[in-house]
Amino acid sequence: MISLDLEKITESLRLRLSEYRFKHTLSVRETALNFTKSLQEKGLQDLVAEKAVLNDHYLKKIETAALLHDYAKELENSEQLHLAKFYGLDVYPADLERPNLLHARNGAMLAEEELDIHDTVILSAIREHTFAGVNMTFASKIIFLADMAEPYRDDLDKDPDLEHIRELIYKEHNLEAALIFGLQIKIQDTIKSGKMIHPLAVTAWNSIVGKYKQ
Ligand SMILES: [Fe+2]
Ligand SMILES: [Fe+2]
Residue 195 and residue 98 in contact, taking contact as beta carbons nearer than 8 Å? yes
Query: Which ligand number lies closest to the CA of residue 104?
Result: 1
Residue type, 122: I
Query: Which ligand number lies closest to the CA of residue 25?
Result: 2
CB-based burial label for 58 (10 Å; 0-12, 13-18, 19+): middle
For residue 42, pLDDT beyond 80 = no
DSSP 1: -
Q: Identify the structural domains of the chain with CATH numbers, from first to last.
A: 6-212 (1.10.3210.10)
Query: Which ligand number lies closest to the CA of residue 101?
Result: 1
Please give the distance, rounded to the nearest whole angstrom, from the Cα atom of residue 21 to the centre of ligand 1. 9
Residues with CB under 5 A from ligand 1 (ion): 70
Q: Is the pTM of this model over 0.75?
A: yes
Query: Which ligand number lies closest to the CA of residue 31?
Result: 2
CB contact set of 103 (below 8 Å; sequence gap of 6+): 70, 72, 73, 75, 80, 130
Please give the distance, rounded to the nearest whole angstrom, from the Cα atom of residue 19 to the centre of ligand 1. 15
pLDDT tens for 53-92 read 678 889 999 999 999 999 999 999 999 999 999 999 999 9
pLDDT tens for 156-188 read 678 899 999 999 999 999 999 999 999 999 999
Tell me how far apart the alpha carbons of residues 128 and 143 are, in angstroms, rounded to a whole number.
9
Tell me how far apart the alpha carbons of residues 157 and 171 are, in angstroms, rounded to a whole number.
21
Please give the distance, rounded to the nearest whole angstrom, from the Cα atom of residue 129 to the centre of ligand 1. 6
Residue 2 and residue 60 in contact, taking contact as beta carbons nearer than 8 Å? yes
Please give the distance, rounded to the nearest whole angstrom, from the Cα atom of residue 104 to the centre of ligand 1. 6
Tell me how far apart the alpha carbons of residues 142 and 127 are, in angstroms, rounded to a whole number.
13
What confidence category does residue 1 fall into, taking pLDDT thresholds of 50, 70 and 90?
very low
